[in-house]
Amino acid sequence: MLRFLLQKEFRQVFRNPAVLRIIFVMPMVQLLVLPWAADYEVKNIKLAIVDNDHSDYSRQFISKVTSSGYFQLQQYSMSYNTALQEVEKDKADIIVQIPTHFEKDLVKESKASLFMAVNAINGVKAVLGASYLQAIVQDYNNEIREQWIQMPRFSPQTVIEITSSNWFNPFMEYKYFMVPGILVLLVTMVGSFLTALNIVKEKEVGTIEQINVTPVKKYHFILGKLIPFWVLGLAILTMGLLIAFIAYGIQPAGSFLTIYAFAAVYLLAVLGLGLLISTYCNTQLQAILILFFLIMIFILLGGLYTPIESMPVWAQWITKLNPVTYFIKVMREVVLKGSNLADIAPNIGIIFIFAVVLNTWAVVNYRKRG
């Protein structure tokens, strides 16, 4: 019995080349294009400088800032107000104002001041940009001190030297971080939408009635729907991993077996979600909207775009109920850190519970009568 249902489902999938093309080609294009966009690193900060001093010191300072690599000198402004206009037009991120007598004050009074104004709409960028600039000022300050005073052998100023290193991704390559994550999103979207739409479509078109009058059992019907999409989902994952390797040279530090073991269970959960939603909806439009709503929350609260630790407690609870969170975490751990099956076992357990709950709920809720 199941065999014929499977045959039917596979035929239906392959008969519709437009949808097939979309579900394979679109994710691949996205995987090739989007990781290039995902670079959070704060660099290329645009500066507007108001130099009221025009001294050697102010020029030295400016060239020190611009040669640091983090900043781009956008323009020399005549006054603070013209600089502010640049910020308003989004042409500059930080204004640095060097007061008149900067050099004179520094040399004669032994103390000078600088002013900076930071566009803080994006708070993180503002804080990091300002602290980079502060560090440069500090450096420059030390250089000047060295010019003017003979440093004693032991530094009079207490110094704590900080060395830092970055593990697992020493070159701070964002693609290693984003590609596995985006792949997870694509598998999730395709998996859940395909199942939900497929079943609701049968409802909408009316063919589900025909199946309902046959002796096909509930679980046969549901298995017949799940298996083809489960296979499709794994196929997309495989293609995605291939692309990650060919285009980005990303080779999992852990084993492929671990990834597939998790993905196999994960897909069951995602398909179960699609199934569950399809039992509650009568039109494709309803199904799309509900799924969209859920998927958007899943994706944005999945820990790919913003760190989960910084969310408020209630939102962290939502992330615990979000299957995407676990897959992204697992992908990251396996691909970047080389975790093995034992390391991620608790995650597989949780996802397995998701799969069981969602699918049981769906089967219970699926009625053969329309």
Partner 1 sequence: MKQFLSFVKKEFYHILRDKQTFFILLFMPLIQILIFGFALTNEVKNANFIVLDNASDAASHELIAQISASRYFSFAKNIYSYKDIEQVFQTDQAKVALIFPPSFASDLEHFNKAQVQIIADAADPNTATTLTSYMSAIIRDYQKALTQNKDLPYTIEVTQRMLYNPQLKGAYNFVPGVMAMVLMLVCTMMTAITIVREKERGTMEVMLVSPVQPLKVIIAKAVPYLLLSIVNIISILLLSVFVLDVPIKGSLLLLMAEGTLYIITCLSFGLLISNLTNSQEEAMFISLMAMFLPTVMLSGFMFPIENMPLPLRILSNIVPAKWFFTIIKSVMIKGLGLKFIWKETLILLGMTLLLLALSLKKFKIRLA
Nearer to partner 1, 81 or 165 (CB): 165
Nearer to partner 1, 2 or 208 (CB): 208
Nearer to partner 1, 37 or 213 (CB): 37
Smallest gap from Cβ 366 to partner 1, in A, equals 18
Nearer to partner 1, 99 or 227 (CB): 99
- 226 and 275 Cβ atoms separated by less than 8 Å: yes
Long-range contacts of 56-63 (CB under 8 A, 24+ apart): 56/103, 57/102, 57/103, 57/106, 57/144, 58/98, 58/102, 58/103, 60/140, 61/98, 61/137, 61/140
Binder of partner 1 out of 67, 307, 367, 369 (CB under 8 A): 307
Binder of partner 1 out of 174, 248, 352, 361 (CB under 8 A): 174
Nearer to partner 1, 341 or 356 (CB): 341
- Assess 44 for contact with partner 1 (CB under 8 A): yes
Nearer to partner 1, 2 or 141 (CB): 141
Of 31-39, 222-230, 257-265, 350-358, the segment contacting partner 1 by CB under 8 A is 31-39
C-alpha–C-alpha distance, residues 321 and 149, integer Å: 61
- Assess 114 for contact with partner 1 (CB under 8 A): yes
Binder of partner 1 out of 1, 4, 54, 124 (CB under 8 A): 124
Rule CB under 8 A: which of 134-173 touch partner 1?
A: 134, 137, 140-141, 144-145, 148-149, 154-170, 172-173
- 302 and 329 Cβ atoms separated by less than 8 Å: no
C-alpha–C-alpha distance, residues 24 and 232, integer Å: 9
- Residue at 163: amino acid letter: T
Binder of partner 1 out of 48, 62, 83, 118 (CB under 8 A): 118
C-alpha–C-alpha distance, residues 348 and 333, integer Å: 13
Per-residue CA distances from 77 to 54, 55, 91, 198 (Å): 12, 16, 12, 60
Report which of 356, 350, 361, 295 is spatially closest to residue 327, judged by C-alpha positions: 350
Binder of partner 1 out of 15, 89, 367, 369 (CB under 8 A): 89
Per-residue contact string for residues 266-305; x = within reach of partner 1 by CB under 8 A: ---------------x-xxxx-xxx-xx--xx--xx---x
Of 4-12, 132-140, 215-223, 264-272, the segment contacting partner 1 by CB under 8 A is 132-140
Rule CB under 8 A: which of 308-367 touch partner 1?
A: 309-312, 315, 318, 329, 332-333, 336-339, 343
Q: Give me the residue label for tokens 């597989």.
A: 348
- Assess 185 for contact with partner 1 (CB under 8 A): yes
Largest CA distance in the chain: 98
- Following DSSP, what letter does each residue of 198-237 receive, concatenated? HHHHHHHHTHHHHHHTSS--HHHHHHHHHHHHHHHHHHHH
Per-residue contact string for residues 206-245; x = within reach of partner 1 by CB under 8 A: ----------------------------------------
Per-residue CA distances from 224 to 195, 198, 203, 245 (Å): 11, 12, 16, 33
